[in-house]
Amino acid sequence: MNIKQHWLSTAQHIPSPNFDDRKDSNDISLVVIHCISLPAGEFGNNYINELFCNCLNPNEHPYFKEIYQLKVSAHLLIKRTGDIIQYVPFDKRAWHAGVSSYEGRERCNDFSIGIELEGTEFIPYTDAQYAQLNAVLAVLLDTYPKLSRQRITGHSDIAPERKTDPGASFDWSRLTD
């Protein structure tokens, strides 16, 4: 696994239109862990890809009527199988954090990489997801010098009034050095 031109070599690439330029493309200094499932608690379908690519059909599920017009993305999704999808190159700003703050610095999208885990706050993540997440984190830390193990956080930590992911089901002790 390596990174070439800000794309992870082992990931499936599904480019999302939901990104823009970072103010400083060299300021990649935070990793934010999220979780997502569409519909809630359902896995293994194509709905996350459709949401991040602005083609989610609102008639497929009642919940989709509420979210299909959102313009959101992440850099990566790690599926429950361990398969990785990359939507946005790491040097661009994905739209994953929303209103957020880390160590007093606002707008975390400006300086972070967003990694979604296919899951929920209440269902344990898979061994395959932890293995891939650790592999991804190792290559990110090797590639982007401003990242460190101490600068890996959850969405709930940067937006505590709004978000709870990756939730109690995420075992932080499974992140390896």
Q: Which residues are catalytic?
A: 116
* The two three-digit tokens of residue 30, written as one number: 């935070």
In SS3 terms, 50-107 reads as HHHCCCCCCCCCCCHHHHCCCCCCCCEEECCCCCEEECCCCCEEECCCCCCEECCEEC
Q: Is 157 exposed, middle or buried (0-12, 13-18, 19+ CB in 10 A)?
A: middle
Which residue stretches of the chain are H helix?
47-52, 64-67, 127-143, 155-158
